[in-house]
Chain A
Amino acid sequence: MEGPLSVVLRMSHPTEMMISVLVGIGFGFVLERAGFGRADRLTANFYGRDFRVLRVMFTAIVTAMLGLYVLDLLGILPLSSIGILDTYLLPHFVGGLLLGVGFIVGGYCPGTSVVAAVSGKIDAVLFMLGIAFGSAVFTLGYDTIAPLANAGARGRVLLHDFFHVSSGTMVFAVSLFAVGAFWAVGRIERLVRARVSARALVRQHLEASEAPDAAGLAGEGSLP
């Protein structure tokens, strides 16, 4: 076999759509089990309290990357046979910043909002309505936005082309980067959690004593 199964087996449109449903079921199931069906758990990533989002995301990227590049090497699934995403530098940069803002303001990203909505979360249903609205605004204003949306079009650029290294080196570097990130966020998490529990202890102390010098204790930041 050389290429995706749908191409090799010349699947019909309905068959391919059925496969997409099955892949989607796996996707939704894993997202929920990863804990991505709640906004508070997702946003905890951005307050340094729980880096679940980063851990799941980077592990998934490294897993799929290793699989993709091994299958390419073996000639089973050449990278040229799958839909590689093109690079549009400015839209990817600005769109990324905005999506990050939307994430922390609204509590979800598009995929996780679907999983949260079917988990009964009202805020996720509202977020989904917002996505459809924002997407429609883009479409209705496309004539104005088009220059920005197409700025910095570079076509197909892979990281190893950009850095002028071999694909093997890049795969190794990305894996190493992920492991480094896991180590770093573990440390940050411990620091933040220690601070949060220390602050909670101070608050408990204040409520328990209600003494006039309690304010001084908090002001000095002295901890029990």
Chain B
Amino acid sequence: MKENRPLWNPYAAGIALGLVLLASFVLTGRGLGASGTFKHVEAAAIHAVDPTWAEENQNIGSFFSNPQRSSMNEWIVWLTIGSAVGGAMAAFTGKRFKVETVRGPRARIENRWILAVVGGAISGFAAQLARGCTSGQALTGGAQLSLGSWVFMFSVFGGAYGMAWFVRRQWI
């Protein structure tokens, strides 16, 4: 039987994550993030269908203001490419790579698939509204002590705890 490399102690992992975030501030003046990449992806897709509409849109128009550079050639997109590489390196070296659908003992696999898409869609909308997700807003702005980011973080916990009972069959 193959031996999984154990996870890090949560406090050690937290310190490591904090140092990565701090390094990002020192190196580029920016924090971490993820949802911005999804915005760039959907914006590029819309732009491919209707360039004029995309360029005139208040939400994504600025992505296309530089004709010399692709709208995907952005720091957040590169950061996410790095996250995928780093995550894969850790999963493979930790022998945790496995093709599977993660679900609770009572959950039906089809329900998990549907709810994964639904939850993703809610998150994608939410991250745009809040101008960031758990990494780009809660973690990055939390460390900066930005008021809005702390409001956001408590709301995330509130939303998840408030909804947890209704979807408990998916997880426990």
Chain A residues within 8 Å of B, Cβ to Cβ: 3-7, 13, 16-35, 37-40, 43-47, 49, 52, 54-65, 67-68, 71, 77, 79, 81-89, 91-124, 126-140, 142-143, 145-146, 148-149, 154, 156-162, 167, 170-171, 174
Q: A29-B86, A110-B127 are in contact. Are A159 and B113 (CB under 8 A)?
A: no
Number of A-B contacts (CB under 8 A): 541
What residues on B are CB-neighbors of A38 within 8 Å? Answer: 102
Q: Is B1 an interface residue (CB 8 A)?
A: no
Q: How far is the CA of A26 from the CA of B170 in the complex (A)?
A: 31
The contact sample of 6 A-B pairs, CB cut-off 8 A, is: A56-B11, A64-B143, A98-B123, A135-B125, A138-B128, A158-B145
Q: How far is the CA of A64 from the CA of B86 in the complex (A)?
A: 20
Report the minimum CB–CB distance from A9 to chain B (whole Å). Answer: 10
Report the minimum CB–CB distance from A155 to chain B (whole Å). Answer: 10
- Tell whether, in the assembled complex, residue B128 and residue A139 are in contact, meaning their CB atoms are under 8 Å apart: yes
What residues on A are CB-neighbors of B160 within 8 Å? Answer: 45-46, 100-101, 103-104
- Tell whether, in the assembled complex, residue B86 and residue A26 are in contact, meaning their CB atoms are under 8 Å apart: yes
Report the minimum CB–CB distance from A141 to chain B (whole Å). Answer: 9
- Tell whether, in the assembled complex, residue A131 and residue B123 are in contact, meaning their CB atoms are under 8 Å apart: yes
User: Main SS of the interface on chain A?
Assistant: helix
Q: A30-B17, A55-B14, A118-B87 are in contact. Are A110 and B134 (CB under 8 A)?
A: yes
Q: A26-B86, A33-B8, A55-B10 are in contact. Are A136 and B45 (CB under 8 A)?
A: yes
Report the minimum CB–CB distance from A69 to chain B (whole Å). Answer: 8
- Tell whether, in the assembled complex, residue B130 and residue A92 are in contact, meaning their CB atoms are under 8 Å apart: yes
- Tell whether, in the assembled complex, residue A34 and residue B115 are in contact, meaning their CB atoms are under 8 Å apart: no
What residues on A are CB-neighbors of B145 within 8 Å? Answer: 65, 158-160, 167, 170-171, 174
- Tell whether, in the assembled complex, residue B143 and residue A65 are in contact, meaning their CB atoms are under 8 Å apart: yes
Within 8 A of A (CB), among B55-107: 57-60, 69, 73, 75-76, 78-91, 94, 96-104
Q: How far is the CA of A93 from the CA of B33 in the complex (A)?
A: 19
Within 8 A of A (CB), among B104-160: 104, 112-113, 115-135, 137-160
